[in-house]
Structure 1
């Protein structure tokens, strides 16, 4: 009986060329063209600006909610808060 030889799948020339480019040390910047790199950088700037804007909006919303809570406090809550600060008449 003859032994069967195991065959390894053959790589196409483009696959082997791609593997050698990655191993040769070509960076992503070199692989991308300038316009694609510019688009990615602009997208990154836009995303940062959007996250900063959202953070500012959240801080503003929190500030408005705090003002609303202060405005809606009852007399008892205000008196209690005044006493806690140590400025009360009987402290």
Structure 2
């Protein structure tokens, strides 16, 4: 993965956040932050929000924020999904 993307990662994706950092991505992990604050941080930072919370994902899209929703709990599936969503080979 190229590391020109920057992410805000919600509390449900801690392992993914750790792997993104290991591979050189600018990733901020928010554990225990309420949804409104997470959306505000995403907007202010112009990062891509990564979440397993479908309602939060839908709210982000309605606000015009870039967000990626993950169904899987497995980090390998999450990394594959992220690569696919961002068009990374």
TM-score normalized with structure 1 length = 0.20
Question: In proportion to residue count, which structure has more strand?
Answer: 2
Structure number, greater radius of gyration? 1
TM-score normalized with structure 2 length = 0.20
Question: In proportion to residue count, which structure has more helix?
Answer: 1
